[in-house]
Amino acid sequence: MRIIVAGVGNVLRRDDGFGPAVAARLHDLPDCVEVIETGIGGIALLQELQAGCDGLVLVDAVERGAVPGTVFVLEPEVVVAGHVPDVHLANPNRVLSMAKGLGCLPKRIVIVGCQPTDVDELEQRLSPAVERAVEVAVEKVRETVRAWAS
């Protein structure tokens, strides 16, 4: 069994660095779990999916119109992608769509997301609300991968 946890985001754009912040704090996971940081480039994640896996947990800042710092566990509905002009900058939804089209999308997919405060400011620190949400997200990821691995 192989489960991928992918921290997605740009650490230079404030709360967009939520995914990498969570990935950096993930320890004591089952042996079948690989934690990767994909940055903003979708091609790295697509290559990991092409290598095969049984489950994928994406961790990312997710705009849902909620209170900043709110953590969501979402099961995405993935449709086959149309033309993606630049796969290096593909967002997670496009990467999942491309993976589905290529036949390498795992059956189990969860997004652990957090409502950001700000993703446009050039700042390497998370906002206080999103920083507080990191440990909540770490626990959601741990719960998910432990359930899948058992």
Please give the pLDDT value at position 89.
52
Domains of the chain by range and CATH?
3-149 (3.40.50.1450)
CB 29 within 8 A of CB 138: no
Please give the pLDDT value at position 121.
83
Alpha-carbon distance values, 53 to 16, 46, 50, 66, 137 (Å): 25, 11, 8, 32, 22
88-143 pLDDT, tens digit per residue, is 455 677 788 888 888 999 999 999 999 999 888 888 999 999 999 999 999 999 99
- Strand, helix or coil for residue 82: coil
| pTM for the model | 0.90
Q: How large is the greatest C-alpha to C-alpha distance in the chain, in angstroms?
A: 41
CB 63 within 8 A of CB 9: no
